[in-house]
Amino acid sequence: MDIAVGSVRQITQVAMAIKVAADTVQKNKSDCRKIAARINRLTAVLSWLESTGMARHPAMSAMLEELEGTMDQALTLVKACQEKNGIAHLFSAKSLSKDLRQVNQDISERMMDAMFATSAQVTITLVTQIQEGALVPACLQTQDAGIFERSTAIGPSECINYCVEIVFEEGSEDVNVPSYLTKFSFSEIEVATNNFSEQNLIGEGSLFTIYKGVLPDGCEVVIKRPRAGCDIGFPVQLQHENVVATLGYCLDGLGEMVVEEYMPNGTLSEIIKGSPRRLDWPSTFHIIRGIAHGLAYLQTMCVVHSDLKLDNIFIDSRMNPKIFSSERFKILLEQGVTEIVTEESVSTMGNAPPEYITDGIISMKSDVFSFGVLLLRTLFGMGRLELDQHPIVWAWEVKEAQRIKDLFNSSSCDESEITEIVRGTDIALLCTQMEPSDRPSITDVLKMLNGKEKLPVPKRPRFTENKRREAAAEEEKQEEHAVLR
């Protein structure tokens, strides 16, 4: 059996034992159940890593080994909270509670090690349980509010609306659809997509297939067609120059199709990785600032994107960035509510914030973290740098070694531009702080991007310290081998 697969299965078995034990504890019930809840999320992440083959990545082996030890310790501590357990007498009540909180923190850190172990960007989708929820947030109640269906909420919060979508019931009239959206007939969509031909197919999502279409007036559009049994819906009242615009819709037997504006330059990921033309700093900064403006707009509309990444940023014909939603749902937060908890995880490994991965916490600061990772990926993409580690780890290493200036060609960047790149790296590190409270708001990010004031000093994340120690140990080992030769 593959070592990584064996480790995942062993960890999963211990996790099941912890969850069973947590249900029967007689003391420290709150701490034990917090551990069980975090482990429930951890096992889902590990199962996903195994199914996608990511668990076999060389960078994962040490993390899995450490995680096994942490899980064994957690099981011992939870069992000690069972009144009749033989090991309970080994712990004082005070030390046991302290140790439980520490092992819960250790589990969180091991999860971070897993999420940021590589430079890979792979989307995570975890199975969820959905419960009845609340109505449309007050901040989005407009004259068209009747088009919203009653939302579903996830987890204990009653302040989450999980749909920024119009979803038509069979036989319903679309009388409340905003006037700026065009209703297309099915035959018009068929003609536009050449009868949904393979040549017009440009992408696929978990809920829909994406086609390029051409309308009778020559306008190029994107058409999202739902898979059987899926209602994809479409965003309502989101109109901003840095957000992909919905132009119209079509009611089909499979569900509603969505017509959106077409982006001729593709995604930011394609431009960075596939374009022979290297982005200069003015173009890069224009894109970065545009994304920040689009994100700030979404937040004024109480929307959390929750999967901000290079593949979800499209570039129009004038090189303006536009934020795209790759999934059906966006998260809406009520005014006055700062965060919600969800059992769902549909995000991208390495881009999602730690509180989302470990505990399912979603807030406006979640997108700030993802923006910081996106900013770093854009910067090293501009420099055509090859990375074998997560960009946050890379950024801290080059920052502390003061090598950022050396990584960008002086022939393509002048001194003032390199200074701005260094500043951009520092802003990204502030955005990717592990604690949400340590991250700036997206409004503050815009001020930092546009200003020259001195920036706050970011805190180095603990998982990057682990990487630094591992690198130092490996370097020392290589030096010893060199001496022996």
Look at residue 375 in the predicted model and tell me its pLDDT: 96
Which residues are CB-neighbours of 273 under 8 A, at least 6 positions away?
A: 381
pTM of the entire structure? 0.80
Mean pLDDT of 6-22: 88
Tell which wins on pLDDT, 110 or 83: 110
> Mean pLDDT: which of 72-81, 103-112, 151-160 is highest?
72-81
Mean pLDDT of 218-228: 88
Structure tokens at 186: 């099915």
Tell which wins on pLDDT, 404 or 192: 192
Look at residue 93 in the predicted model and tell me its pLDDT: 64
Look at residue 26 in the predicted model and tell me its pLDDT: 86
Look at residue 2 in the predicted model and tell me its pLDDT: 55
The set of long-range contacts for 126-130, using a CB threshold of 8 Å and a minimum separation of 24, is 126/41, 126/44, 126/45, 126/48, 126/343, 126/344, 126/345, 126/346, 127/44, 128/154, 128/342, 128/343, 128/344, 128/345, 129/154, 129/343, 130/154, 130/162, 130/344
Q: Share the mean pLDDT of the chain.
A: 77
What distance in Å separates the CA atoms of residue 295 and residue 373, rounded to the nearest whole number?
14
Structural domain includes residue 219 = no
Neighbours of 453 (CB within 10 A): 6
Structural domain includes residue 8 = yes
Structural domain includes residue 90 = yes
Secondary structure element (H or E) that encloses residue 462, with its range:
helix 462-484
Structural domain includes residue 46 = yes
> Mean pLDDT: which of 86-95, 414-423, 429-438 is highest?
429-438
Look at residue 131 in the predicted model and tell me its pLDDT: 30
Which residues are CB-neighbours of 214 under 8 A, at least 6 positions away?
A: 192, 220, 221
Please state, for a pLDDT cut of 90, what percent of the chain lies above it: 29
Query: Which of 207-221, 430-444, 463-477 is predicted with the least confidence, judged by mean pLDDT?
Result: 463-477
Q: SS3 of 200, please?
A: helix
pLDDT tens-place string over residues 207-217:
778 899 999 99
307 is a catalytic site residue: yes
Tell which wins on pLDDT, 256 or 83: 256
Structural domain includes residue 73 = yes
String of DSSP letters for 312-376: GEEE-TTS-EEE---SS--EEE-TT--EEE-S-EEEETTTS-HHHHHH-EEEHHHHHHHHHHHHH
Domain total of the chain: 1
Look at residue 479 in the predicted model and tell me its pLDDT: 60
Tell which wins on pLDDT, 149 or 315: 315
Mean pLDDT of 457-483: 67
Name the nearest CA neighbour of 18 among 107, 86, 84: 107
Look at residue 376 in the predicted model and tell me its pLDDT: 93
pLDDT tens-place string over residues 95-110:
888 899 999 888 888 8
Sheet holding 255-261, edge to edge: 182-183, 246-252, 255-261, 220-226, 208-214, 201-204
**pLDDT at residue 47 tops 50:** yes
Structural domain includes residue 13 = yes
Number of helices (H), then strands (E), belonging to the chain: the values are 13, 17
Structural domain includes residue 20 = yes
pLDDT tens-place string over residues 239-298:
899 999 888 888 776 667 889 999 988 899 888 887 666 788 899 999 999 999 999 999
Mean pLDDT of 196-201: 94
Q: Are strands 160-161 and 331-333 parallel, antiparallel or unpaired?
A: antiparallel
Structural domain includes residue 111 = yes
Residue span of the structural domain in which 63 resides: 3-115
For 148, which DSSP code? B
Look at residue 475 in the predicted model and tell me its pLDDT: 58
> What's the residue count for the chain?
485
The residue annotated as part of the active site, out of 307, 311, 367, 426, is: 307
Q: SS3 of 72, please?
A: helix
